Amino acid sequence: MRRKNEIKNAVAFILWQDELARKDDCYLIMRVIQEIEPELAGETFANVMTNAKYKGISFESITRARRKYMSQHPELKDKETEKARREEEETYREEYSGGYTC
């Protein structure tokens, strides 16, 4: 299994240098795969999805590392992206709480 620090360090490096990765989780996941498993990056989508698990790459750990890094470095946050994420989270809460808010 892949060490958490390897993914965390790759995410931090990519977020620090690439503005698009701060805005788009799918792009960030692709970049992390390119960074830590370059031979997997050239495969088809189906192969990447099948083999990522066996290579110790968890998409959830990548997005979790992004959230943590961005909370530690708020100066890198894109205001429009953050606004869209908050709106999406609010819509999700409303839909799945049956319309009840706390």
Contact 75, 20 (CB under 8 A): no
Using one digit for the tens of pLDDT, what is the confidence trace for 49-96? 888 888 888 899 999 999 999 999 988 887 777 778 788 888 888 888
Using one digit for the tens of pLDDT, what is the confidence trace for 3-53? 778 999 999 999 999 999 998 999 999 999 999 988 888 888 888 888 888
Rounded Cα–Cα distance for residues 59 and 43 (Å): 17
Neighbours of 81 (CB within 10 A): 13
